[in-house]
Amino acid sequence: MRAFGGFEKGTDYYLHQPLFHLKMTLFVLILIVELAPMITLIKWRIASARGAAIDTGRAKLYARISHVEALLLVLMMIAATGMARGVTFG
């Protein structure tokens, strides 16, 4: 909202800020990586409500994916902190 809503620093600042691009790239990457676990968990919940057996064979994989997402989130927060402190490159 702040980046494209015409508030404070304006769109030009954000579009020319490498940390903003890094932050948005990490955000999109987190969303993409989360799709498979999210869809599977929804299917598990539906199957559980119907009383069907749930195949938890991929649970360890999804746990590892959660750890990767946590790391990406930490990197995203570091990028946001850098932006807030005015870190620039170039």
Helix (H) or strand (E) holding 76: helix 59-84
**Residue whose structure tokens are 């570091």:** 78
Q: Considering its fold, how many domains does the chain have in total?
A: 1
In a domain, 77, yes or no: yes
Distance CA 10, CA 75 (A): 24
Q: Quick one: pLDDT band at residue 7, thresholds 50, 70, 90?
A: low
Q: For 89, left (φ over 0), alpha (ψ -120 to 50), or beta?
A: beta
Question: pLDDT digit string (tens) for 31-83?
Answer: 999 999 999 999 999 999 999 999 999 999 999 999 999 999 999 999 999 99
12, pLDDT greater than 90: no
Q: pTM score, two decimals?
A: 0.79
Task: Find the radius of gyration of the CA atoms of the chain.
Answer: 18
Structural domain boundaries enclosing 20:
15-85
In a domain, 2, yes or no: no
In a domain, 47, yes or no: yes
